[in-house]
Structure 1
Amino acid sequence: MKDSLKTDSDNVTLLSADYHRANHLLVTGYSNGSFLLHEMPDFNLIHSLSITEHDILSVTFNCTGEWIALASGRKGQLVVWEWQSESFVLKQQGHVNNMACLTYSPDGLLIATGGDDGRVKLWNVSNGFCFVTFTEHKSGVSAVTFTQSGKAIISASLDGTVRAFDLHRYRNFKTLTTPQPAQFSCLAVDPSGEVVCAGSQDTFDIFVWSLQTGRLLEVLAGHEGPVSGITFSPNEAILVSASWDKTCRVWDVFSGKGSREAITLTADGLTAVFRPDGREFAVATLDGAILFFNPQTSVQTGSIEGRHDLGSGRRDTDLVTAKKLTQTQAFSTLCYTADGENILGAGRSKYICIYNILKQILLKKFEVTCNHSLDGVDDFISRRKITEFGNMALVEERADADEAALALPGAKKGDMSSRSFKPEVRVTSVSFSPTGRAWGAATTEGILIYSLDHSLVFDPYELEQDITPASIRQALEAKDYSKAVMAALRLNEVEITTEIVEKIPLGNIELLCRSLPQVYVERLLGFLGVQLESRPHIQLYMTWITTLLKQHGEMLKERSPSVMALLRTLLKNITLRHKELAKICDHNTYLMQYILAQKDVKHKASKDDEMSGSDVSDSEDILIS
């Protein structure tokens, strides 16, 4: 096989293989990024290709044997190759190293991530594919955020630049820098999308730029430690910053007054985040607490002690007990839910916690991984590994030297003398979707998305004994549509509600929506918004939605903070279906134009034939005369 690899190195090893029994094909992957495809049993070479410079850790055929999937762990690359046409069916690559930040787009359709490899990637939420990668940063990306319009994405990096990327042309249209180089650790954009702020971890300042001109407007000084988090109020000209100097500052950025007030924290501030309605902000501190403040009065309104909820995963290098480790846990990333009633928190742990703010209680803990090959997953270290000289898991064999070191960009992380690298489980960023139906987390294992799925959960609302599927269908047959809809919403089974909504005649929708009690309006709108994404009856669902909004728009406007997530879900799914229909309509329009053009070409060709025929007959008449 070595002759087929076309390499001079003697260190190439076979790492993976798969055999397709029906087609008698053998595919093999090697440590130099090459793979070979042979026909068995004669062992005839069909293909010899290289897709990467690193190990191909896994290869497999699909059921028909037409496609070959290849995976490279070190590059985070996944390739599907069609060997007959010699073309790529799929080519995806994640971040080479850990992801440092994550954020949702305003419509909830996209996710942007930044990694230690200096790349900014955009992912499609619906299919999970990365469709564009920006590589302009020269060092790790520490923060990313979308503008409020969703037309641009801003990223901050440790290379001392803040870059703005256009989401239409996919180019870096603005680069923001400082007079003296600074490493940016956090980022915020005002609601208008015109002002960009970034906090520094080495100069302890906050820099303010104009996105349109790229000019540095102001430098906010006052912190005496690294700025760890900044956030803009969604509806006021207020910027809140948290720092390692145990203070949280509230700034009037646009009035030019600078710092309005400094709030003393119980420990170092790690991150800050505003509630979606702008009436509260939260700060995570090093002692494992989440503190809540009123931005107008700067008065603390509540606190949550969460260090014990994060767990005490033991790392191989830890020299203290699990009980002592719990005292060092803290939240490094926070995010409010779309309705502002709950808050997500995570940090150097395998758990993500969600708390109710009003009651200050833990609602649920999400475990992001059970992968015991990661450091910090196990709560206890086996006593068999503990000797008088320390943890035996840290004793490396000399043979590991050829397999280990990961090439990290910029600088080597961890123990400089170590010949191996064991990733540590942690959650670097959490972000809630504006629709309120999903949230994502950037972890050591990759991007994790948690979503609501009511089709698998029986969650009744004000259920009574006489509300059954049979009674609901009887009301529908009796043409008591209002009773059928309300009973279906109270039973809260997706299949029953879908059946009732789709069987009500179009002419009765307006009258039904007008008489529907307000308590059911939000539930019906939420149901319609979710079903619009997958159901084929687009006109029917749009009729329901527009009629409900026309009849109950004023009521919904009064309760705008609580229904904002619902309206974002509607906007997201309507935009999605509009794009799908636009593609079909454009395709049909171009096809009709092509058919009409072909008709004109044929008509013109027949005219040319007639003209040439008449010219020939005229010439013959002249010759005869």
Structure 2
Amino acid sequence: MMFLLQFSNLFGAVYRQGNLSFSKDGNAVISPVGNRISVFDLKNNTSETLPVSTTKNITCVGLSPDGNLAIVVDEDGAALLVSLITRAVLHHFHFHKPVNSIRFSPDGRKFVVTKENVALMYYAPGKQREFNAFVLDKSYYGPYDETTCIDWTDDSKCFAVGSKDMSTWVFGAERWVNLIYYSLGGHKDVIVGCFFEKDSLDLYTVSQDGTLCVWESDTELDELTLKRNKAKPPGEGEEDEVEEERTEGQEGEVIRGKAGTPKEKEKTKNVRFKHFFNKEGDFNNLTAAAFHKPTHILVTGFASGIFHLHELPEFNLIHSLSISDQRIASVALNCSGDWIAFGCSGMGQLLVWEWQSESYVFKQQGHFNNMASLAYSPDGQYIVTGGDDGKVKVWNTNSGLCFVTFTEHTSSITNVTFTSSGFVIVTASLDGTVRAFDLHRYRNFRTFTSPRPAQFSSLAVDVSGELVSAGAQDSFEIFLWSMQTGRLLEVLGGHEGPVSCLCFSPVQSILASASWDRTVRLWDMMDSWQVKETLHLTSDGLSVTYRPDGQELAVATLNGEISFWDPHTASQTASVAGRHDLQTGLGEKLRSFTSLCYSADGESILAGGQSKFVCIYNVKEQMLMKKFEISCNLSFDAMEEFLDRRKMTEFGSLALVDEGAGDGEGVNISLPGVRRGDMSSRHFKPEIRVSSLRFSPTGRSWAATTTEGLLVYSLDGSMVFDPYDLDLDVTPASIRKQLRLQEWTSAIILAFRLNEKALKQEVLETVPHEQIPVVCGSLPDIYVEKLLGFVSACLEKSGHLQFYMTWAQSLLMLHGQKLKNRSGAILPTLQALQKSIQRHFDNLSKLCDFNMYNIKYAVALSKQRGVKRAAEEEEREDDEDEEEEASEELSEASWEDAEMIL
């Protein structure tokens, strides 16, 4: 099954750079994350990363109007045509230059790409029967500098292009007689956005210095007439040559514009209005803008993290708010105009703001710098990560989103772990503290410190959750605390180098510590914390871990080897040389494994380190089973595996030269150790590496903290056909025949031999509820484990909660003793079942609490109304009594008056 693990999701990073986009229904945000695309469902509060990736970081994404296709372009201009329905790459294309923006026409028939100072219009793929998916229609030249933005009219007849030369150009998508091109000047800075008014040629342009220009046109879209290819009258040919130059060739039709006063024959007259945004100094540049045509709402984002909402064309300020202290890199509005998405590349933030209710719909932020460590909760529902930014984040494995962040640490996090209960997170940091966090109240309830300041680089918690140990990298000591009291119990000394890793035995109170002094020491926690054994290594110890049954110890060393030891006899049983499996790229750096983790069954070990590869080894056979390439992003260092002769110079390969700002003279290659120019600029690319990795307790997935983020590889996201004991008689027809004959056991056996998920689910849900114990009792032993695993998988997603719970209960009650004898093999299945049950329990508990609250509120409200109604009835009765008494008195008085008259 290890061969079937595939990339499932990317946590820990929500936005890097590029433009944000909303889906067609406006319920999902599509965000570029490095060289991948993530889709965040705002209705269901889930995230998904598409299984496609580019060779470098993505700079722009264009979505088709129907929401079925996306064009993804990276830094070098390499483009992918991706189907958002099948999540597959349909076509590869290369624009050969960096692309600044890309935009589909509203009718979906064409799209415009801007690179350098040219706008290229292509036929949209799928609209015509062409061999090539990208067919160039026209090339538009006009701006003198790089283009920045695009916008189309609603009827797809014209489009506008903004440029860094402070001008905006309006081009016709067809040969219009009265609009070939038009140049608009008047700004004093780079054009950030240009937007057409709804069903009009009126235009709004926004520049970086905070200036809005309103351009009005006296030509309506309906007045544009198509130009026909007829013989030109004498004297008109020369005039047309001045205005436009069209040539046919490989570039399609080329239209070259000329800046200047437009001719009368274009019949366009512009009246310019200027509005200025309130700014506070030069640092508050306008960096992003978006316009919603139906509601006339303009959203502008600034470098200080402030955004404004204005209503156009009156320029009325509706709303202004500071949502971040970082530069807003991208802004997008959904189709209804209610939700606004903001992307801040500096901190990796993605925010969705509902401006009418002034509330956050979505607010996520990844780690500011690299992730250092991760840990799974015992039930596999949560993942906790610690980063170099000093933050501890907890992620939900089902939704892929972070739901709590702890910021008590003041320096880098080096290690994180869960206790066995799953409700306490323990973290170690370079700030000299070890902290314990409560997931019930979301607070830091314990802080462990050492007598002398120390930087903790390793951490471990025993099975009971009572002992907390941390290793120091400067004093070479191991500190032990009590979780219950928070007191320091003991300081273990003996290592002669920094303690790199700690690990408690899962079955005994024995602590294993690996150090740079080429030893692994086993400390007995029950015998006065004395050294029980000392294992001598061939190189510096970097990582140590126990097998789940505690009968084996794996140690990774600096020379790239993994050695396996028997902790009872202190003898080495096997070793794996993995240096050649890690070598990649053109660097000559010595690579080694820095993180190890056993699989749930203990037969395989997962290893990762200073490389883009993660390896899975079979412990018994001492061989490589599979090697995962966690990234193909060439924007990271040490990713190129082959020398490119086109990049070879007399100084060496340009691929090995650090990219920087240079010294202002165009010389990119400097002497070693010499850095000139802007000293604050980054002169190196981040190196791809794996800092930590863990197997899920369910055994069906594993996660790794990398330079890209938190990557999750799983078996659940892939379609797997793995038949068991298949022969010619096992067909869907024979299975359904057994169902008609009510032979439930044989139908289940045949379905599991064919092993199609839909068919297995159909057979199980056809079995009557009262027959489930009888069927479970008659199943052969070999199918009990398979059926239990399938029930646990169905229970996680199905709505038939009681039905599948009955299956699980019957299997466990009738075959409990047999399953207990195979506890090592059945453990991942049981943990997956526990994870599903726990998730349903949490959801139902919240629902029941909410319903109880509503019922109590309704009862209290009804009582209050009953009391009020009773008071009103009592008051009404009193009034009636008073009226009767008054009427009686009146009648008596009238009788007396009558008698007196008589």
TM-score, length of structure 1 as denominator length:
0.91
Q: 1:6–1:103: structure 2 CA closer, same or farther, 3 Å change rule?
A: farther
User: 1:194 — aligned with what?
Assistant: 466
Matched, 1:547 2:810: yes
User: 1:366 — aligned with what?
Assistant: 628
Shift of 1:14: 4.0
Q: 1:620–1:454: structure 2 CA closer, same or farther, 3 Å change rule?
A: closer
User: 1:379 — aligned with what?
Assistant: 641
Query: 2: CA distance between counterparts of 1:21 and 1:470?
Result: 56
1:23-48 residue CA offsets vs partner (Å, 9 max, x unmatched) = 55443433222233444566554433
User: 1:27 — aligned with what?
Assistant: 299
Q: 1:269–1:109: structure 2 CA closer, same or farther, 3 Å change rule?
A: same
The amino acid of 1:551's aligned partner reads L
> Aligned runs of 1:73-222 on 2, under 5 Å?
73-222=345-494
Query: 1: CA distance between counterparts of 2:297 and 2:555?
Result: 58
The amino acid of 1:241's aligned partner reads S
Task: Please point out which of 819, 833, 842 is paired with 1:556.
Answer: 819
Task: Please point out which of 596, 599, 616 is paired with 1:334.
Answer: 596
User: 2:667 — aligned with what?
Assistant: none
1:466-503 residue CA offsets vs partner (Å, 9 max, x unmatched) = 11111111111111111111111121111000000001
Query: 2: CA distance between counterparts of 1:220 and 1:165?
Result: 25
Query: 1: CA distance between counterparts of 2:427 and 2:278?
Result: 41
The question of whether the paired residues in 2 share the 8 Å contact of 1:4 and 1:48 is answered with no
The amino acid of 1:348's aligned partner reads Q
The question of whether the paired residues in 2 share the 8 Å contact of 1:209 and 1:216 is answered with yes
Shift of 1:22: 4.9
| Secondary structure, aligned partner of 2:850 | helix
Matched, 1:428 2:428: no
The question of whether the paired residues in 2 share the 8 Å contact of 1:454 and 1:494 is answered with no
Matched, 1:445 2:445: no
Matched, 1:269 2:541: yes
Shift of 1:395: 5.8
1:419-475 residue CA offsets vs partner (Å, 9 max, x unmatched) = 315322111110111111111111111111111127611111222221111111111
Query: 2: CA distance between counterparts of 1:559 and 1:144?
Result: 31
User: 2:332 — aligned with what?
Assistant: 60
The amino acid of 1:252's aligned partner reads D
| Secondary structure, aligned partner of 2:855 | helix
User: 2:855 — aligned with what?
Assistant: 592
The question of whether the paired residues in 2 share the 8 Å contact of 1:455 and 1:494 is answered with no
- Greater CA drift, 42-51 or 545-554: 42-51
Shift of 1:581: 2.1
The question of whether the paired residues in 2 share the 8 Å contact of 1:159 and 1:183 is answered with yes
Q: 1:540–1:337: structure 2 CA closer, same or farther, 3 Å change rule?
A: same
| Secondary structure, aligned partner of 1:461 | coil
Q: 1:508–1:423: structure 2 CA closer, same or farther, 3 Å change rule?
A: same
Query: 2: CA distance between counterparts of 1:141 and 1:356?
Result: 31
| Secondary structure, aligned partner of 1:463 | coil
Task: Please point out which of 736, 742, 747 is paired with 1:484.
Answer: 747
Q: 1:20–1:193: structure 2 CA closer, same or farther, 3 Å change rule?
A: same
The question of whether the paired residues in 2 share the 8 Å contact of 1:112 and 1:123 is answered with yes
Query: 1: CA distance between counterparts of 2:411 and 2:277?
Result: 34
Which structure has greater helix proportion?
1
The amino acid of 2:381's aligned partner reads L
User: 1:224 — aligned with what?
Assistant: 496
Unmatched 5+ stretches in structure 1: 315-321, 401-415
The amino acid of 2:600's aligned partner reads A
Q: 1:570–1:600: structure 2 CA closer, same or farther, 3 Å change rule?
A: same
1:510-543 residue CA offsets vs partner (Å, 9 max, x unmatched) = 1111111111111100000011011111111001
User: 2:838 — aligned with what?
Assistant: 575
Query: 2: CA distance between counterparts of 1:381 and 1:158?
Result: 39
Q: 1:34–1:622: structure 2 CA closer, same or farther, 3 Å change rule?
A: same
Shift of 1:618: 4.5
Which structure has greater strand proportion?
2
Matched, 1:396 2:660: yes
Task: Please point out which of 600, 606, 610 is paired with 2:869.
Answer: 606
| Secondary structure, aligned partner of 1:549 | helix
Query: 2: CA distance between counterparts of 1:457 and 1:63?
Result: 38
Q: 1:55–1:247: structure 2 CA closer, same or farther, 3 Å change rule?
A: same
The question of whether the paired residues in 1 share the 8 Å contact of 2:584 and 2:612 is answered with no
Q: CA RMSD in A?
A: 2.2
Query: 1: CA distance between counterparts of 2:663 and 2:280?
Result: 23
Query: 2: CA distance between counterparts of 1:612 and 1:469?
Result: 76
| Secondary structure, aligned partner of 1:486 | helix
Query: 2: CA distance between counterparts of 1:367 and 1:22?
Result: 46
Aligned residues with identical type, % of pairs: 53
The question of whether the paired residues in 2 share the 8 Å contact of 1:5 and 1:48 is answered with no
| Secondary structure, aligned partner of 1:355 | strand
Shift of 1:96: 1.1
Q: 1:576–1:86: structure 2 CA closer, same or farther, 3 Å change rule?
A: same
Query: 1: CA distance between counterparts of 2:315 and 2:278?
Result: 17
Q: 1:114–1:258: structure 2 CA closer, same or farther, 3 Å change rule?
A: same
The question of whether the paired residues in 2 share the 8 Å contact of 1:71 and 1:79 is answered with yes
- Greater CA drift, 11-20 or 487-496: 11-20
Shift of 1:257: 4.7
- Greater CA drift, 56-65 or 468-477: 56-65
Matched, 1:48 2:311: no
The amino acid of 1:363's aligned partner reads M
Matched, 1:344 2:616: no
Query: 2: CA distance between counterparts of 1:303 and 1:17?
Result: 58
The question of whether the paired residues in 2 share the 8 Å contact of 1:372 and 1:378 is answered with yes
User: 2:36 — aligned with what?
Assistant: none
The amino acid of 2:523's aligned partner reads W
Shift of 1:584: 2.6
1:384-428 residue CA offsets vs partner (Å, 9 max, x unmatched) = 55544566543633599xxxxxxxxxxxxxxx9663153221111
Shift of 1:66: 2.3
The question of whether the paired residues in 2 share the 8 Å contact of 1:455 and 1:493 is answered with no
User: 2:768 — aligned with what?
Assistant: 505
Shift of 1:560: 1.3
Query: 1: CA distance between counterparts of 2:758 and 2:884?
Result: 82
The amino acid of 1:594's aligned partner reads Y
The amino acid of 2:360's aligned partner reads F
Q: 1:603–1:11: structure 2 CA closer, same or farther, 3 Å change rule?
A: closer
| Secondary structure, aligned partner of 1:131 | strand
Query: 2: CA distance between counterparts of 1:535 and 1:170?
Result: 31
Query: 2: CA distance between counterparts of 1:395 and 1:544?
Result: 60
Q: 1:309–1:501: structure 2 CA closer, same or farther, 3 Å change rule?
A: same
> Aligned runs of 1:454-465 on 2, under 5 Å?
456-465=719-728
Number of aligned residues: 600
Task: Please point out which of 776, 779, 788 is paired with 1:516.
Answer: 779
Query: 2: CA distance between counterparts of 1:207 and 1:22?
Result: 64
Q: 1:385–1:417: structure 2 CA closer, same or farther, 3 Å change rule?
A: farther
1:231-270 residue CA offsets vs partner (Å, 9 max, x unmatched) = 0010111111111111111111222151111111111110
- Greater CA drift, 23-32 or 331-340: 23-32
The question of whether the paired residues in 2 share the 8 Å contact of 1:426 and 1:443 is answered with yes
1:187-246 residue CA offsets vs partner (Å, 9 max, x unmatched) = 000000000111111111111111111111111111111111110010111111111111
Task: Please point out which of 573, 576, 580 is paired with 1:308.
Answer: 580
User: 1:279 — aligned with what?
Assistant: 551
The question of whether the paired residues in 1 share the 8 Å contact of 2:658 and 2:685 is answered with no
Query: 2: CA distance between counterparts of 1:547 and 1:215?
Result: 47
User: 1:470 — aligned with what?
Assistant: 733
1:95-149 residue CA offsets vs partner (Å, 9 max, x unmatched) = 1111100000011111101011111111111111111111111110100001101
Query: 2: CA distance between counterparts of 1:377 and 1:18?
Result: 36
Query: 1: CA distance between counterparts of 2:725 and 2:276?
Result: 70
